[in-house]
Amino acid sequence: MTPPKDRIFSRLTLRIFAVNGIALVVLAFGLIYMGRYESNLISSELQTLERQARIYSGAIAEAAQVEGPILLQGERGARILRYDRLARYPARKMIKRLGQTTTSRIRLYDFDGSIMGDSDWLSGPVGVIETGPASERNTFFKTPLQTSVDFILDMLPSSLKLREYPNDNQTALTGYLYPDVQKAMEGGISVSAWKTDNRRLLLSAAVPVKNMDRVMGVVYLTRDGTPVDEAIRQMQRDIIMLFIIALGVTFLLSLYLSGSITRPLKKLSGAANNVQKNFGRGAKIPDLSRRNDEIGDLSVAFKSMTDALALRLDTIENFAADVAHELKNPLTSLRSAVETVSIVKDKNDRDRLLKVILHDVERLDRLISDISKSSRLDAELSREDMSVIDMAPLLNDICAHYKCKVNLPSNKDIMVRGVDTRLGQVFDNLLSNAKSFSDKVELAVERQGNKWHITVEDEGPGIPENKLETIFDRFYTERPETEGFGNHSGLGLAICRQVIDAHEGKIYAENRLDNQGKKIGARFTVILKAV
C-alpha cells in the first residue's frame, strides 16, 4: 500500500471546511436579499409620508382657500358663477413655512396642474431660486471596507424593482409630469417609491386639496430615501461583517477540528505503514486512549490488534521451531537406521532396524497430520459460525465410544454456544488421554451460576505438580512407562486449549487427592458459558 501524500490541507479538512462553509454562504446570500425587510421599511416610510401630505393638504385647504368670481359666456349670454380656489401667495407662503419643519420637499399644484409653490424655492430681489433637495447635499463618509462591501452589494441584483423617477432635473412647472400628481388630480391618493438616475431611492406622496368633493389642487411630497437606503445598506454591511467573522471563526474551528482528527489519524496511518514494513515487529502504536473518543478507541483497538499480530507471529515462530525440533528426532533416528541397515548382515538385526524405520515413518506421519490440524485450527475456527448446541447428546456419544462412566444433570439441557465438531474434538482428546492412563474414567457435568463445569477424571498416576500447566504446551508428552515411545505427537491437549480459548472458555488440570493427600488420579475441567 502506498503511503498517503503530504498535503497542506487533507481531504478530510477540506470536507469539514466545505460542510461548515456552504451553510454560511447560503445563509449570507439568503440574508443579502432582504426583500421583505426592505419592502416593509419603504412601506412604513410611505405611510408616514402619506400622513404628512394629508395634514399639509388639510392645512392648505383651510388657510389658502379663497372665493373668487368667474365670468362664463354661453348661448344665453354671460353668467357669473362663484367658485372656491387657492390663493397663490398665501399658499406659497404656507408651503415655505411647512417646508421648514420637514426634510421632505413640498410642492403645490393648482387644479390645472400648474405649480403654485415649492419648499425648495427662495424668493429674493432676483426672483425665485431653486435650492434643490437638501438630502442631495448630504454626504456620507465611507471607509475603504464599506466602499468594498458596497461595491459587492451593488453588483448583486436588487429584490425590489423600482421605476425610474420622471425628473428632468429642472423645476417641473406642470404636475402632470408625475403619475402620483395625475392620480391626485382625479381625487385619489397616490404614494410611490422611485429610483433616481443616480440609483438613489426617492419616496413620493400626492394628496388632493379639496373643498367638499372638488379638487382645488394637489400637495406633492417627495423625500430622499437615502437614509432608508443607508439603513438597509448598513444592515447588509453588518451581516456581511458578521458573515466574515463567522467564516473566520468557522475556518479556525474547522482547522482545529480537522487537526484534532487528521493528526492522530496520520500518526496511526504512519504506525500502520511501520507495522507493514516491520512485519508487525517493533512498531510503536501511539497511545491516544486519553482522548476518550472514537479515535482513542481506534488507537486502543489498533494497539491490541498489533499486539495480537506480534503474539501470533511469535507463536508461529515458536511453533515452527517446535515443529523442526520434533521432526528432527524421528528423522535423525530414521537416517541412522537407514544408514545402518545397509551394512548389517544378520537378518534379525536387519528386521529390527526395519521395524525402527517403519515406527519412525509412522511417527512422522502422525506428527505431520497433527501439525497440519493444529496449524489450520485457528483459521477454521474464525470461519465457522457458532450456534447454540446441546452438549448432552454429544457427551453421551463420546462416553459410549470410550465406554466410560457419564454423570449428566437430569432433566436439563446442557446448552452452550459453539461449534459442535470442535467441542467434540476436545472431549474426544480428553477421554482418549485419560483412557491411556486408566481404565476407569468418568465424565461429569455441573451447573455453577451461568457456567457449565465439565470434568474428566481418571484413576491414573496423576500429573507432576510442576507440569500442570506445561502439559498444554505443544509437543509436550507425559506418557505412562508401559506405552511405547512416539505413539503420541503431544498436540492433543494443546489443541484442546486452543479450541476452548476460541469459545471464550477455560480449561485446566489438577490432581485428585485422597484424605491423606495422596494422588489418586488426574482431573481435567472445561468451563463453558451457559446459554
- CA torsion 362-366-369-375 (nearest 10°) is -140
Give the number of C-alpha atoms closer than 13 A to the C-alpha of residue 423, restricted to the C-beta side: 26
Domain total of the chain: 3
Domain span at 490: 385-531
How far is residue 419's CA from residue 377's CA, in Å, rounded to a whole number?
12
Has residue 139 been placed in a domain?
A: no
Question: What whole-number distance in Å separates Cα of residue 33 and Cα of residue 43?
Answer: 17
| Domain shared by 26 and 96, yes or no | yes
Q: Alpha-carbon distance 211 to 195, whole Å?
A: 33
**Residue that is last in its domain, among 383, 411, 446:** 383
pLDDT of residue 3: 46
Residues 268 and 284: their CA atoms lie apart, in Å, by 10
Q: How far apart are CA 423 and CA 419, in angstroms?
A: 6
Residue reference for cell 541397515: 341
Is-contact 285 303, C-beta < 8 A? yes
In a domain, 279, yes or no: no
Q: Are residues 309 and 376 in the same domain?
A: yes
Residue 368 in any domain: the answer is: yes
Question: Which CATH number characterizes residue 114's domain?
Answer: 3.30.450.20
Q: Phi and psi (nearest 5°) for 204?
A: -140, 150
Retrieve residue 462's grid coordinates: 496423576
Residues 189 and 328 in one domain: no
Contact of 388 with 416, CB cutoff 8 Å: yes
CA 344 – CA 357 distance, rounded (Å): 14
Residue 339 near residue 356, CB atoms below 8 Å? no
Confirm whether 10 is domain-assigned. no
Residue-level pLDDT at 171? 54
pLDDT digits (tens), the chain, 531 positions: 444 455 555 666 666 667 666 766 666 666 555 667 788 888 999 999 999 999 999 888 888 766 555 555 555 555 544 456 788 888 888 888 888 888 899 999 988 888 888 888 755 443 444 555 444 444 456 677 667 777 766 776 666 778 888 865 555 678 888 999 999 999 999 999 998 877 788 999 999 998 877 888 999 999 988 888 888 777 777 777 777 777 777 777 777 777 777 777 777 777 777 777 766 566 677 777 777 777 777 888 878 887 777 777 777 777 677 667 667 777 887 788 888 877 887 888 888 888 888 877 877 777 777 677 666 666 666 677 789 999 999 999 999 998 989 999 887 789 999 988 889 888 988 998 888 888 899 999 999 999 999 999 999 888 888 888 888 887 666 655 555 444 555 677 888 888 898 888 999 999 998 888 898 999 999 999 998
Give the integer Cα–Cα distance in Å for 505 and 213: 106
Asked if residue 220 and residue 72 are part of one domain, the reply reads yes
The answer to whether residues 412 and 487 belong to one domain is yes
| Domain stops at, among 199, 219, 239 | 239
User: Is 22 in the same domain as 115?
Assistant: yes
Residues in Cβ contact with 373 at an 8 Å cutoff, skipping those fewer than 6 apart: 491, 495
Residue 285 lies in a domain: no
Rg (CA), the chain: 54
